[in-house]
Amino acid sequence: LMFVNEIEGILDSMDPAQFTLICQPLFQQLVRCIVSPHFQVAERTLAMWRNTYIVNLITDNIHLILPIVLSGIYRHSRSHWNRNIHNQVFQVLRFFVNVNEEMFEQCLA
């Protein structure tokens, strides 16, 4: 949990150009947190999608982030034991569809 809290704090003050440089390895690690069987880790990571600044960073780099995140959480969306995690994953998937539905569909193909 401390890792995710620290990451969110860093991202809140990060320049968008810097974010672009680190977003792929960062989201590879965040996907591991999302698919964690520890529901608090998954829940806290998914809560980052409620942070407006981070959502804007994700949206601006959707072409880099979506393939990484989607491959990890789509198949995990129904297998986590905690029902709240199912709902939050669904909300994140819906976010990606709303940002770029065509790219979402391409990543699923």
Model confidence pLDDT, tens digit, residues 9-50: 999 999 999 999 999 999 999 999 999 989 999 999 999 999
More confident residue, 27 or 76: 27
Check if the beta carbon of residue 61 is closer than 8 Å to that of residue 98.
Answer: no
Determine the pLDDT at residue 72: 82
Determine the pLDDT at residue 80: 74
Determine the pLDDT at residue 74: 79
